[in-house]
Structure 1
């Protein structure tokens, strides 16, 4: 049974007062006018992956206004481990709580059960903006292969915040730093190893694929200086960098300083120098390659969220995208302003029209195209 949501229920989430959908394993098309709430629906789906969702929003930001009563998202998910009843809830801005089969559960368990990828319009400038966005993109790919990656990243960031506090306070006693740097070295080495392994899997998937989308050569580089990769090397680098870090008030060495460098493979042109259309095609190619690699690694294609992706593709590229999604067997949730953007999918997908009403948002299932 392919990985998919077969029920999604939303209450007081963003613009939605109450929505209940019962999709099957096929791709899901959400169409309707701008502002109707399509992206809010797929944001709800993104919560089934560890983290803060595709918008990285706080629990309070997700609540429907003006009521601000809190919100709930729940769903039945077919996974390789069987049917799972997963629910998320936040009461009046409190951190969201995760329950799986009615039992409180840490977010890390989500990464073991559900693999989820997304591509959003805000990511179109990924190659030409700051390194932080590219690291986040890489870490989402990495998390899809290694559920422990999120926990390692959180542990690393917590230790780094403590170290940065010492640096800003001009603390020079080495005893204050050793335990924090040991923790950063251990988790930082794991973060780097996971990232490099993920890039290797993506590269293999691209090489083996028959696809209409261009391949990207990816590499991990350090924004400044050399990149210490092993635990011992990173611990030594942190120790040697203390006085420089004290002068700057922050940690200047480690995996948080890495950057993802991409090249349009067939042309040998850096992704940042490629055309807007080529950059978009490279991102689509990477998401598809990530999905292919997960079929081998996880045993099922991931759930894929594609927000407004069809609007910037011509009919040929749209048809190629839909063919590849269908071949993967992925439940891809796609949004667009009108059903004509999905003509090439035909009966391979299921269609839901999203409209605004006096009482909020209505989501109505429509027949195939």
Structure 2
């Protein structure tokens, strides 16, 4: 069983006591390059170091499955399975290796309780080539993954998100929806309902159907769900604005705006009025040539717009380091807001968090993370970049899917 290394540095950063949920034990089985792994943890920050490809990101990906959804990589469940040498079968004289279904289990400690949460790919479903994830709480299988949000909230930053301001609006919408979900677990189901109804309407149009009753039912659902999605996004952005725009140390603040037709309509009209206006727009678009989704209003056309608070430069025109700093500012503001409203900040998974940050920004980052009172997981290739955390943090060096 792995244990943490620590040493003393008088110039260290102080971390507040963790007030939110903390993972005290982590067990993996057949998870990517981890055949088996068991970690015992304190409530302090966790630093994972090692070469590229060692398995650092795989480890925090496993933790990310303690939240509803598909984890930090949004991978198919079958892609996570590790192929084990002993798990073989012979087919037509050829030895085939079958992947073992992955599993993750944690002991979670919160203020007044301790729970065992397990999740993984359903082995019975895997045998027939199906992707199904199961979740167990204290040994009992639950019907919906959404119950995980009752036990902890998880936020993450990965290197792939460094392109958030350069990629298309769809990436920023997904990012914003994940932030909303931390406050409103039903938001994800509304997004899914909206998307499904919109696709069904588009299929109906392409089929040449003239069933007005069917169209009306779908467009009513699209309007109800669409306005609810936009209102939730808009409300969260407004709540984040005051703290996100404030600079901390060398980190600039992020000025946030949300753009879109429905967002503008909500500035001057009630949600019910916007629903009616949206239904009329959908009906007019259907009867004209503007039938494609990109030509009609809705949350699928919204965008999160971000500016540098000091020079007012759009985020997509900022340097790589400034973009990373703006992204961190948003995530820290989000964590602080959750701490204010729920009494605890989310568990934070920060993959290669020190990349593109100079020493001044690293120090400022460690200080602000230390004030959150949440369990922080960080990864990096260079352990020296985390030296200031040594007295309080737990350090694990990873090599080829093992703690060394």
The worse-fitting range, judged by mean Cα deviation, of 102-111 and 120-129 is: 102-111
The worse-fitting range, judged by mean Cα deviation, of 319-328 and 249-258 is: 249-258
Q: Summarize the Cα distance change of 1:349–1:249 in structure 2 as closer, same or farther, 3 Å threshold.
A: closer
Tell whether the 8 Å contact from 2:281 to 2:296 is kept in structure 1 after alignment: no
Q: Summarize the Cα distance change of 1:10–1:226 in structure 2 as closer, same or farther, 3 Å threshold.
A: closer
Q: Summarize the Cα distance change of 1:250–1:129 in structure 2 as closer, same or farther, 3 Å threshold.
A: closer
Tell whether the 8 Å contact from 1:49 to 1:116 is kept in structure 2 after alignment: yes
- Asked if 1:96 corresponds to 2:114, the answer is no
| Helix, strand or coil at the partner of 1:312 | coil
Aligned-CA RMSD value: 2.1
Equivalent of residue 206 in structure 2, options 155, 168, 171: 168
Q: Deviations over 1:205-240 (max 9, x none)?
A: 335775542111111112x79855533333232222
Task: Determine the C-alpha separation between the residues in 2 that align with 1:245 and 1:304.
Answer: 47
Residue 357 of structure 2 is matched in structure 1 by: 313
* 1:123-134 equivalence runs, <5 A: 123-134=161-172
Residue 363 of structure 1 is matched in structure 2 by: 403
Tell whether the 8 Å contact from 2:250 to 2:360 is kept in structure 1 after alignment: no
- Asked if 1:274 corresponds to 2:318, the answer is yes
The worse-fitting range, judged by mean Cα deviation, of 197-206 and 69-78 is: 197-206
Equivalent of residue 116 in structure 1, options 151, 154, 177: 154
Once the two structures are TM-superposed, the CA of residue 44 in structure 1 deviates from its matched residue by 0.7
Tell whether the 8 Å contact from 1:47 to 1:53 is kept in structure 2 after alignment: yes
* 1:212-291 equivalence runs, <5 A: 212-222=250-260, 229=266, 230=271, 231-244=275-288, 247-248=291-292, 252-291=296-335
What TM-score comes out, normalization by structure 2 length?
0.83
Residue 81 of structure 2 is matched in structure 1 by: 63
Q: Summarize the Cα distance change of 1:247–1:206 in structure 2 as closer, same or farther, 3 Å threshold.
A: closer
Q: Deviations over 1:159-217 (max 9, x none)?
A: 22212221221323321212222222222222111111211221133357755421111
Once the two structures are TM-superposed, the CA of residue 246 in structure 1 deviates from its matched residue by 6.6
Tell whether the 8 Å contact from 2:21 to 2:110 is kept in structure 1 after alignment: yes
The worse-fitting range, judged by mean Cα deviation, of 269-278 and 79-88 is: 79-88
Task: Determine the C-alpha separation between the residues in 1 that align with 2:334 and 2:59.
Answer: 23
Residue 196 of structure 1 is matched in structure 2 by: 234
Residue 367 of structure 1 is matched in structure 2 by: none
Task: Determine the C-alpha separation between the residues in 2 that align with 1:243 and 1:101.
Answer: 54
Once the two structures are TM-superposed, the CA of residue 257 in structure 1 deviates from its matched residue by 1.4
- If asked which structure has higher relative contact order (CA below 8 Å, sep 6+), I would say 2
Q: Deviations over 1:253-284 (max 9, x none)?
A: 21111111111111111111111111110001
- Asked if 1:24 corresponds to 2:42, the answer is yes
Q: Which runs of 5+ in 2 are unaligned?
A: 1-18, 84-96
Tell whether the 8 Å contact from 2:245 to 2:255 is kept in structure 1 after alignment: no
Q: Summarize the Cα distance change of 1:246–1:273 in structure 2 as closer, same or farther, 3 Å threshold.
A: closer
- Asked if 1:86 corresponds to 2:104, the answer is no
Q: Summarize the Cα distance change of 1:316–1:173 in structure 2 as closer, same or farther, 3 Å threshold.
A: same
Task: Determine the C-alpha separation between the residues in 2 that align with 1:236 and 1:112.
Answer: 38
Task: Determine the C-alpha separation between the residues in 2 that align with 1:98 and 1:253.
Answer: 37
| Helix, strand or coil at the partner of 1:290 | helix
Task: Determine the C-alpha separation between the residues in 2 that align with 1:46 and 1:84.
Answer: 17
Kindly name which structure, 1 or 2, has the bigger radius of gyration based on alpha carbons: 2
- Asked if 1:42 corresponds to 2:42, the answer is no
Tell whether the 8 Å contact from 1:167 to 1:245 is kept in structure 2 after alignment: no
Task: Determine the C-alpha separation between the residues in 1 that align with 2:201 and 2:131.
Answer: 28
| Helix, strand or coil at the partner of 2:182 | helix
